[in-house]
Amino acid sequence: MGGLAIGARVVAAETLDGLAESDPAAQRSRRDLRRIHRAMGTRSIVRRGLEDLLGSNERSASAARRPLRVLELGAGDGTLLLGVAGALGSRWPAVELTLLDRQSLVEPSTVEAYAACGWRVTPRVVDVFAWARSAGADPALPVASKPTGAPTRPEPTPPWDLIVGNLFLHHFEGPALSTLLAAIEAQGARFFACEPRRATLAWIGSHLVGALGANAVTREDAVLSVQAGFRDRELSALWPQHARRWRLREYPAGLFSHCLQAQRVDPDDAVTPVR
């Protein structure tokens, strides 16, 4: 059994992704995911990861200039980062958050709850690869095939201070994943991803989500998520190779999660991946 969890990645379509947003099974599965996030401690993992990327001193300085611009990819109903916003309290008093998903799942009550935390929220319904094309990444081409050797120019300020992906990257592989990472690299100053860890313990745990009352959709998708998850330095190895101005840190978190932190650094600094 362990070999299925810790072998090569296997990416398969998850049932929830193919269901209409109004489907009762999909609505139940999204409620299941909230319980699973609580059991996994996902909010605490994400909060700590974001605090590492944006320390209190840096956040205070930027708050004096403008709100922090944050984009969540594959945000779903937007409730995961809402828990993070509540935990951060007044330490990030001004945030402009865009919740991007291909389905319209964000409730008005969720937007209001963010506002109570000082976060202004804009839900955006768009396919992530349409967003990637607008970011200048062509999903038809692998990143490695793009032209190189152009004259060095001052880089424009990225439109996003922080891009976040929670249980999102594992849905993709090959050129599609490379395209997505290239768009993130081009559009963000920082990136944080929290993904399933492809490991024996996580694989066993994925078979036990029924104990939390999960429905059939969630039980099946939980196993597929772990089999498509990441471990070691797999995400760092996929980060765009031409991007030499980034510091990467990839690490296991909690019992079942795997995280990547990516941050632009000064052009004179070397890229320093940290385990």
Residues 156-174 have a mean pLDDT of: 90
Rounded to whole angstroms, the Cα distance separating 102 from 121 reads 16
What is the reported pLDDT for 225? 93
Tell me the per-residue pLDDT of 32-64, one tens digit each, with 9 for 90 and over. 888 888 888 899 999 999 999 887 444 444 445
What is the reported pLDDT for 55? 73
Task: Give the torsion sign (CA, 127, 122, 38, 25).
Answer: negative
Collapsing DSSP to helix, strand or coil, 48 comes out as: helix
Residues 82-105 have a mean pLDDT of: 88
What is the reported pLDDT for 266? 62
Which of 13-27, 131-145, 178-192, 214-228 shows the lowest per-residue confidence on average (mean pLDDT)? 131-145
CA separation, residue 92 to residues 57, 60, 87, 114, 125 (Å): 11, 8, 10, 12, 25
Tell me the domains of the chain and their CATH numbers.
2-7+25-142+155-242 (3.40.50)
β-strand pairing of 257-264 with 190-196: antiparallel
Banded model confidence at residue 272, pLDDT cuts 50, 70, 90: very low
Q: Is the pLDDT of residue 7 over 60?
A: yes
Q: Is the pLDDT of residue 259 over 90?
A: yes
Place of tokens 């095939």: 145
Residues written for the chain: 275
What is the reported pLDDT for 144? 35
What is the reported pLDDT for 65? 67
DSSP secondary structure letter of residue 235 = H
Task: Give the torsion sign (CA, 27, 103, 98, 118).
Answer: negative
Rounded to whole angstroms, the Cα distance separating 57 from 54 reads 8
